Amino acid sequence: MNHLSNISRPLVLGLGLAFGGLCAPAFAQKVVKIGVAGPYTGPVAAYGKDFESAVRLAIDDANAAGIKFGSEAVRFELLSEDDAADPKQAVTVATRLVDMHVAGVVGHLTSGATIPAAKVYSDAGIPQIAPAATNPTLTRQGYKTTFRVIGDDLQVGAAMANYLVSKLGFKSVAVIDDRSAFGQGLADVVAKTVRTLGGKVVAHEYTTDKATDFKAILTSLKAKNVQAVFYGGVNAQAGPLRRQMRDLGMNTPLFGSAISSDEFISFAGAEAAEGTISADSGQAIEKMPGGPGFVKKFTAKYGKVVMYAPYGYDATNVLINAMRAANSADPAKYLPEIGKLSFNGVTGPISFNDKGDLRSATVTFSRVKAGKWETLETVATQ
C-alpha cells in the first residue's frame, strides 16, 4: 500500500492574496474548513503524517493562488484529527469534524478507519476523498459522498497473483494476513486469483496488526516447502516477518503490498529485506506525471516523502477544484461537481466512475536490491 510542477494544475489561478495590515478589513475572506484525518500515532504514524503534510501543502498552494468564489476571496483552513488507525476512534473523529462544520474531508488513511467513518460523512452530506484506503468495500457502500484517488485491492491483488503465477511461474503459494480490512481484503483477492490462474494456495495463515512473533506460522510454512509467501499487512509486521524468515533459514521470497518504503527495510534489516517484492497502486513517484516537482517542493518543507503524500495532495485538490467549479464551499452545491472533474494530478489523471473510484489505475511492482527499492514494472489494471 505507494508528485507537482510538471502537471496541469487547475487550482493555480487568480491574483495574489489580499494585503494585510490596516487594509485587511477591505479584503475580508471567506474561511473554508477542510478536515483531514489519519493515524498520527501508532505503528503507521509515518504514513499518516506523510499524507497530512501533503494536505497542508495543497492548502498552502491554494491560499497562495488567491482563489475566489465569484467575487468573494477564499482562505482554506485545515482541521486535523488523529484516528490512530482505529475504527472506533475514526468514527469519533469523523463526528468531531462534522460538528466543526468542515466543508470536506481528506481521509482517512487505513481501510479499517476509512470505511466506518464514511457513513458519518455520508449522513452529514460531506464529501470524503480517501488518499490510501484500498479495500473495495469503501466505494461499494452506496455513499454518494465517498471517493478515492488510488486503485483498490481488487486491482492490486489480481495484479499480484498474476505476477506470482503467470510471470514468475510460482504454483505453490502461502498467504498470511493480519485480519485488518486492508490486509485480509487484499490477501483474499490474491488467494482467490492464484487459484483461478491454476496455482495452489498451500496455506492461509492469520496474525494480527499488533503481532511481533511469527515463528510458529513460519515454521509450519517452511515444512510445506512453499515457493512464495504473500503477506497482507503493513511494514510494522511485514518487516519483522521477513527478518524472522531469514532467521529460520527460509529462502522463500516474500511479497506484499504498500510496503515499498525505507521503513520496511529498517524493520527487516537490509540483508533480510533483499529480494522482497511489493505491489503498489499507482506509479513509482519518479514516474508520476508531477512526481519530481512534487518531491522537490514537498521535501523543502516536510522532508522525505514516505508513500502517500502525492495522493493526499491530489485528494485535497479534488475538493478545492470541485468547490471552484461550483463557486461554493457548500457541500450540497459542490458535491455534484466532483463526479464531473477531470484534471491531471500529481499521481496522474483524476476522474471518477459512478462508484467514486478512479476511471483508470495502475499497479507498480518494486523489489529491494542492495538495500534500496527499485522499480520493476508498472501494469495497467481493468
Grid cell in block for residue 206: 492469520
Torsion sign over Cα 83, 110, 114, 149: positive
Question: 61 and 7 in contact (C-beta within 8 Å)?
Answer: no
Q: Shortest CA distance to 345 belongs to which of 301, 302, 315?
A: 315
Q: Does some domain include residue 172?
A: yes
Q: Does some domain include residue 6?
A: no
User: Are 368 and 236 part of one and the same domain?
Assistant: yes
Residue 8 pLDDT: 35
Write the pLDDT tens digit of every residue in 3-20: 333 333 333 333 233 333
- Chunked into runs of 10 residues, the chain (382 residues) has average pLDDT values of 36 33 55 98 94 98 96 96 97 98 97 97 98 95 97 93 97 96 93 97 95 96 95 95 97 95 95 96 91 97 95 98 98 98 96 94 94 93 70
70, 71, 93 from 325: Cα distances, Å = 10, 14, 28
Residue 5 pLDDT: 32
β pairing state of 200-206 and 228-232: unpaired
User: Are 47 and 135 part of one and the same domain?
Assistant: yes
Residue 361 pLDDT: 85
User: Are 341 and 370 part of one and the same domain?
Assistant: no
Q: Does some domain include residue 86?
A: yes
Q: Which domain holds residue 72?
A: 21-151+286-351
Q: What DSSP state is assigned to residue 261?
A: S
User: Are 337 and 370 part of one and the same domain?
Assistant: no
Q: Does some domain include residue 357?
A: no
Q: Does some domain include residue 52?
A: yes
Strand arrangement, sheet containing 372-380: 200-206, 172-177, 228-232, 254-257, 277-281, 362-369, 372-380
Separation CA 176–CA 343 (nearest Å): 38
- Helix, strand, or coil here: 219? helix
User: Are 95 and 164 part of one and the same domain?
Assistant: no
In 228-358, DSSP assigns E strands to 228-232, 254-257, 277-281, 343-344, 349-350
Residue 360 pLDDT: 84
Q: ∠160-227-272 over CA atoms, to 5°?
A: 85
User: Are 50 and 196 part of one and the same domain?
Assistant: no
User: Are 146 and 191 part of one and the same domain?
Assistant: no
Grid cell in block for residue 379: 501494469
Give exposure, 339-352, as e/b (b: 16+ Cβ within 10 Å). Answer: eebebbbbbbebeb
Domain count, the chain: 2
User: Are 313 and 234 part of one and the same domain?
Assistant: no
Grid cell in block for residue 129: 476523498
Q: Does some domain include residue 356?
A: no
User: Are 374 and 229 part of one and the same domain?
Assistant: yes
User: Are 250 and 290 part of one and the same domain?
Assistant: no
Q: Does some domain include residue 291?
A: yes
- Dihedral (C-alpha) 374, 53, 79, 149: value to the nearest 10 degrees? -30
Strand arrangement, sheet containing 128-130: 68-69, 72-82, 30-38, 104-107, 128-130, 146-148
User: Are 28 and 99 part of one and the same domain?
Assistant: yes
Write the pLDDT tens digit of every residue in 284-320: 899 999 999 999 999 999 999 999 999 999 999 999 9
pTM: 0.83
40, 143, 173, 233, 234 from 43: Cα distances, Å = 9, 29, 27, 12, 9
Separation CA 5–CA 206 (nearest Å): 43
User: What CATH number is given to the structural domain containing 141?
Assistant: 3.40.50.2300
Grid cell in block for residue 319: 475538493
Q: What DSSP state is assigned to residue 19?
A: P
Grid cell in block for residue 83: 484516528
User: Are 166 and 136 part of one and the same domain?
Assistant: no
Q: Does some domain include residue 272?
A: yes
**Residue 74 parent element (H or E):** strand 72-82
